[in-house]
Amino acid sequence: MKKVAVDAMGGDFAPLEIVLGGIQAVRDYKIPIVLVGDSEQIRKILADNGEDANSLIEVIHASQVIEMGEHPGMAFRKKKDASISVAARLVKQGKCDAVVAPGSTGAAVTAGLLGIGRIKGIERPAIVTPIPNEKGGHTFLIDAGASANPKPENLLQNALLGYNYAKYVRHIKEPRVGLLNIGSESTKGSALMTETYELLSKQTWFPFAGNAEGRDIPTGEFDVVVSDGFTGNVVLKFGEGLGKLFITLLKDSIYRGGVLAKLGGLLLKPALKKYMMKKFDYAEEGGAPLLGIDGTLIISHGSSRAKAIRNAIRLANQVAEEEIPTLVKNTLNVAIESE
Amino acid sequence: MKKVAVDAMGGDFAPLEIVLGGIQAVRDYKIPIVLVGDSEQIRKILADNGEDANSLIEVIHASQVIEMGEHPGMAFRKKKDASISVAARLVKQGKCDAVVAPGSTGAAVTAGLLGIGRIKGIERPAIVTPIPNEKGGHTFLIDAGASANPKPENLLQNALLGYNYAKYVRHIKEPRVGLLNIGSESTKGSALMTETYELLSKQTWFPFAGNAEGRDIPTGEFDVVVSDGFTGNVVLKFGEGLGKLFITLLKDSIYRGGVLAKLGGLLLKPALKKYMMKKFDYAEEGGAPLLGIDGTLIISHGSSRAKAIRNAIRLANQVAEEEIPTLVKNTLNVAIESE
């Protein structure tokens, strides 16, 4: 098991839900954790739950917090003792193997970039997010918002990161990597995309499966879909909103459809939960890894509760096990030597 | 009623489904139509359906067709007698008020741009597409793919077009216009978006409601969401794919959930159709207007069948009634005078 530092002060329900999630991860998976934040509050929650003497739980005090509204870069530089900064430093110093960062995505990306540092050869980190697909698995969208104005080289690097993630962490045998664009032909789309298409076609690190359109993300025809962070972020949030709309309309159909529809809804509910809702429940995954940094960092939603945090810690352990940074460094070295 | 030219050769099911859709529009709404394409085939379908002598149906022969795989601009210039070119010319010459163009979006945009022509002051046309929202209405996304590399000025013009469409064609009282971006602050996103934000804040044609995030599209907080054509196209197609996935998972829940779930599904089916499926049925709307051209053109899906075409003709009539080009010209003139 890897040791996971958790920013216990991040997100809307910190520290209570974060600490409870940490306790669940320790109990369910025996993953050792370090809770970083206001030690007095954290210790009280641990004591209330009978976990004040668990040898798998450490507490490290941090006196500051980066708030949602703050400029991430400035706040990170100023608040040396912010919980997220201290957690990132634990990874940088080799005292922990991974960080779970709930709350501000900007603060988490900055902590990864400045606190842990980039992999040599990767210019910008990228967020990889799973989207459920028709084949029963997930399509991994990279980048979901770390870098809004990338260059073709950055997208090539995203593709390499996503490929390694799909293959080694998610155990997809031969991941199909596609480029998110507005048509299947190589000449389609913006200048950024046609140039990236060329780079992806020329590289020899992994097979390139061509352009993916928006509708291809949920089909599962591609395992990894490479995107600029702007489009990726819009797509991800749009999917979130559309998911909510579907649920609303489903409920509407049940409540407005009369007695028979209500009965139908009641009978269908357990199956809906099992086969549908679970797939769209963010907490099942718990967070999205920031790839391209020289360590493991999982970004969790600001609205994360205990279950999401438990699963984010589980994911952090999984990602750290596979040592993506080493895999990527090896690929990049090979590429440099063969040139 | 306005007179609508229909490219009877466009799309996967042409000419049969297109002609049948035309017949339905004439029967249901008394909209006069001109069917453009292979007159022999068209007349045969009309005769088979007892409509060879309907005074509201005209047939104009066109000997060529622009195929899905062709380069739209080159095909349009070369094939002077293509059905879509002839249909666009009918509007240019004032013989028809609108075109319905099923099939290749590229060919339809080219026909609008070169065959009908731009509104003076509008550099690039834009496609406006309705997305169902939580408030029971639609959010209008503009541009859904006509222009993949716009400048800030183009997005400002899209906003004006979308505002007029929402207000005058869709009768939304005071449309809220938002800019699709990756955060709500004015400084968020790409250079394109921050510059556009500034332009939108300074103009006085309509109130600007600020940045919209992906998740705001389905909430209905904005009536018009302005986007570059790249992101808009990805979002639209992603929504299509995600809709299919939801339906798949819903069916999975019914079929895999045992006898009770099956019974529940049966009881719920009529309400689902009425309150949910209908909202996501593309054919209900039938097509998406290309705005910014000096006339009316509705782009329909290549997979359109009769019902979609009937509704696209109804929409064409509606859009043509409101004379958006005149509204836009008036706004642009006012703006120029006041400078």
DSSP lists the bridge partners of residue A64 as A82
Nearest by CB: B216 against A217, A241, A243: A241
pLDDT in tens, B28-53: 999 999 999 999 999 999 999 999 89
Residue A334 reports pLDDT greater than 70: no
Tokens at residue B222, please? 């904005």
Contacts of A236 in chain B (CB under 8 A): 214
- Phi, psi dihedral angles at B218 (to 5 degrees): -80, -5
Contacts of B248 in chain A (CB under 8 A): 134
B148–A189 C-beta distance less than 8 A: yes
pLDDT band at A168 (very low <50, low <70, confident <90, very high): very high
- The count of CB pairs under 8 A between chains A and B is 202
Q: How far is A303 from chain B (nearest CA, A)?
A: 15
For B191, counting Cβ atoms within 10 Å of its Cβ (0-12 exposed, 13-18 middle, 19+ buried), the class is exposed
Q: How far is A327 from chain B (nearest CA, A)?
A: 31
A260–B275 C-beta distance less than 8 A: no
* Region class of B163: left (phi > 0), else alpha (psi between -120 and 50), else beta: alpha
B253–A238 C-beta distance less than 8 A: no
Nearest by CB: A261 against B217, B219, B271: B271
Q: At what angle do helices A306-322 and A16-29 cross, to 10 degrees?
A: 50
Contacts of B187 in chain A (CB under 8 A): none
Report pLDDT for B95.
Answer: 97
Residue of chain B whose alpha carbon sits nearest to that of A229: B182
Q: How far is A253 from chain B (nearest CA, A)?
A: 5
pLDDT in tens, A85-116: 999 999 999 999 999 999 889 999 999 999 99
Helix (H/G/I), strand (E/B), else coil: B281: coil
Q: How many other β-carbons are positioned within 10 Å of the β-carbon of residue B207?
A: 12
Report pLDDT for A200.
Answer: 97
Pairing, β A296-300 against β A33-37 = unpaired
Q: How far is A38 from chain B (nearest CA, A)?
A: 29
User: How does A58-75 read in b/e, with b if 16+ C-beta sit within 10 Å?
Assistant: bbbebebbbeeebebeeb
B248–A268 C-beta distance less than 8 A: no
For A312, counting Cβ atoms within 10 Å of its Cβ (0-12 exposed, 13-18 middle, 19+ buried), the class is buried
ipTM: 0.92
Q: How far is B36 from chain A (nearest CA, A)?
A: 28
B279–A241 C-beta distance less than 8 A: no
Taking the model in full, what pTM does it have? Answer: 0.93
Q: How far is A73 from chain B (nearest CA, A)?
A: 14
Report pLDDT for B246.
Answer: 92
- Percentage of chain A surpassing pLDDT 70? 98
Nearest by CB: B241 against A182, A219, A265: A219
Tokens at residue B188, please? 């968020």
Longest alpha-carbon distance in chain B: 70
B218–A242 C-beta distance less than 8 A: yes
Report pLDDT for A331.
Answer: 86
Rounded CA separation A7/A15 (Å): 9
Residue of chain B whose alpha carbon sits nearest to that of A259: B267
Rounded CA separation A332/A323 (Å): 15
Rounded CA separation A250/B276 (Å): 7
DSSP lists the bridge partners of residue B187 as none
pLDDT in tens, A198-249: 999 999 999 999 999 999 999 999 999 999 999 999 999 999 999 999 999 9
Contacts of A275 in chain B (CB under 8 A): 249, 252-253, 256-257
Q: How far is A104 from chain B (nearest CA, A)?
A: 12
B268–A261 C-beta distance less than 8 A: yes
Mutate: best of B74, B222, B226, B230, partner A, most A CBs <10 A: B230
Residue of chain A whose alpha carbon sits nearest to that of B187: A71
Residues of chain B with pLDDT under 50: 338-339
